[in-house]
Chain A
């Protein structure tokens, strides 16, 4: 980049990024805009300090990738709330998709001037802000601490200040997280229009058996609802183009996973953000694609130069279920481990869609690989596959207090992993938003990593 050369690859502190940002020339700050316009409000290359000033207190405790691409990624991701409001202000339709984590936005984003987003992802906000505000708002509406952190989405709906009131809410339910289905039900009162989509179980009859075909019918209802909303009849070519664009993103993320897990070209925190970008591209697919290209070039460059973000001898672990508290990833890496595989319940968003199939079938087929619609054993297969591929030495399962599938699945996955691979497994529940990793969890992580070291 003109005027900028990445320093030697490293994870750096919040304060370090303030120093680094002094070196970023104004021309680069002016260069990156979302929604492809040149308005001042659409710039996003800003340091974590800016977002901390606006309340993202947890950023001060995390460690970040010191590349320009990573700074760009963080800036882009962090200003998504503003971006969604700007979407509405600039005449775009804003569609909340809920519960399915990755499939419906492929359809929504194929419509002109429509932006899909997941309120589900608000679950990170209380942790990023070290705040109970959204949980308290959800509790006033009937969902308290016995429910998954995703209840923060309900608080956000109630407040009307984290995203614009959606033009349409498309809520998936059925064979998905039942806690979140409860959140969706309560969110309906805030929806102008709500379309419920039934998500089927994977019953071992092949991806496009009766359940897959049922899903196609459900997606046809999505298309009808979008046509009513927009007045636009989506053509097959438009939907195919949407699938192609989505596949472009998914392929890049797949390559980034290889570079991160295999060569430590990126750290776990950035990789989690990258993987979750596959859900709805942080509300601007074109710009997110450009951000990924930048990240990929950075990661490829590091690998070519033999640079690593984490030491060669770091302990290799696979992480199961995304940690609501991102500080856990920083903590584990600081303690001498690195993440070489993930099962973040978004397997459906990582699958490459078959571009030769009828479009809705292709979307349904990829969704039928979803993490949460099959057996725990099937979900474990992804963990085992990655553990073997990257020679993992242990598995960490971070559950969610109140998240019922976590409570049910954690022990089962642990047992399968131990039986199949003989690897140690650490399972814990993430605690409520806080300034630091809970002492007890920290101690357990430390002890677990000591066990892994002892096994070498």
Chain B
């Protein structure tokens, strides 16, 4: 059935606090799009046009409300010098971080050793993303929002340094950690700027800042301020910023709005809890279990998604029906279809457009 609104029109209403014809539907289809399009995952993340075409096919196949570009959280770190392996049919894997231990960036700069920001056109695979955004924007930018996940400073920093050394540094060398975060932030904002220029809306993704990885104290001290800095930059452009933190955010969900994010994408937390914790300040995006979408049957997915949407629609600021994290690559397409079907049905707003008498 043809819907009244395009995804772009629907999202446009959401971000100005207006009712929509139904909740926007956003299973986080990233590398799964390669499966849908029948190309190798490696082609997906190394060729911007292939990435775009896959996403276009997936968006059309499933009838979702967004096109979203993402491969893995090492994108910025690679552009800054960390090395990755490219398996044929899997996502890039961190081979060697740029530094083994926390670098002394300010001391190095005092000695004249500069650390320039990554160049979005030439470094790593940043250009792949930009090519993908440009292609998709030309193809469908009038009807579908084009989103691009950008790894946040905290997550990027953990890909620049041996992860153990980084986490230890949170306790023993906090100033060096902050320098590293600043260093990452410069590249991230520069990349965001290039994404905006190409027509994409950056989504900040910070999975390594989740409660599954770090404490609340460390989130507040390190991750949150660096997320906030990127979001401040994006707000200079009046963009509606999504902050996605997968994993367990039960302890931090109430603080996440302090970053300035306009929409929070959450994972392992009850949707009612997320709404209670942040739903008066942010729209909530979430959060169907990605194991369930991979392993369940369509009937179960439909039932559980309908329950989730019913809870999510209680969010005063608005709700987007999504998966908690990326749809696993091997997810049966019928399960994604079931997700979308159920979310659209449960999220329908029967009052939309009724003439007010």
Contact = CB atoms under 8 A, between A and B. Distances in A.
Contacts of A53: 196, 199-201, 237, 239
Contact of B16 (A15, A41, A129): A41
Interface residues of B, number: 32
Nearest to A26: B236
Interface in B82-139: 137-138
Given A133-B142, A161-B9, A161-B12, A57 B137 contact: yes
B355 to A, nearest CB: 6
Contacts of A85: 16-18
Contacts of A191: 355
Contact of A192 (B10, B196, B355): B355
B9 A50 contact: no
Interface string A121-135: 000000001110100
Nearest to A129: B142
B333 to A, nearest CB: 27
Interface in A45-92: 46-47, 49-50, 52-55, 57, 60, 81-82, 85-86, 89
Interface string B223-258: 000000000000011110000000000000000000
Contacts of B353: 159-160, 165
A22 to B, nearest CB: 8
Given A18-B193, A57-B141, A130-B142, A159 B4 contact: yes
Contacts of A15: 197
Contacts of B142: 55, 57, 129-131, 133
Interface string A109-141: 000000000000000000001110100000000
A29 interface: yes
A196 interface: no
A49 B237 contact: yes
B8 interface: yes
The secondary structure that dominates the B interface is: loop
A331 interface: no
Contacts of A165: 353, 355-356
A418 interface: no
Contact of A54 (B8, B10, B193, B355): B8
Interface in A403-437: 435
Contact of B12 (A41, A57, A81): A81
A190 interface: yes
Interface residues of A, number: 37
Contacts of A41: 16
A390 to B, nearest CB: 37
A43 B193 CA distance: 20
A93 to B, nearest CB: 12
Given A89-B17, A133-B6, A159-B9, A50 B137 contact: no
B197 A18 contact: yes
Contacts of A129: 142
A54 B12 contact: yes
Nearest to A89: B17
A99 to B, nearest CB: 21
Nearest to B240: A54
Contacts of B295: none
Given A50-B239, A53-B199, A192 B357 contact: yes
Contacts of B237: 21, 46-47, 49-50, 53
A55 B7 CA distance: 11
Interface string A155-173: 0001111101100000000
Nearest to A41: B16
Given A41-B16, A43-B238, A55-B141, A160 B6 contact: no
Nearest to B17: A89
A133 B6 CA distance: 8
Contacts of A130: 142
Nearest to B2: A140
B39 interface: no
Interface in B146-205: 193, 196-197, 199-201
B185 to A, nearest CB: 16
23 contacts: A15-B197, A18-B197, A21-B237, A41-B16, A49-B196, A49-B237, A50-B196, A53-B237, A54-B8, A55-B142, A81-B12, A85-B18, A86-B16, A130-B142, A131-B142, A131-B143, A161-B9, A161-B10, A161-B13, A165-B353, A190-B355, A192-B355, A192-B357
Cβ-closest 3 pairs across A and B: A131-B142, A160-B353, A161-B9
Interface of A: 15, 18, 21, 26, 29, 41, 43, 46-47, 49-50, 52-55, 57, 60, 81-82, 85-86, 89, 129-131, 133, 158-162, 164-165, 190-192, 435
Interface of B: 4-6, 8-10, 12-13, 16-18, 137-138, 141-143, 145, 193, 196-197, 199-201, 236-239, 352-353, 355-357
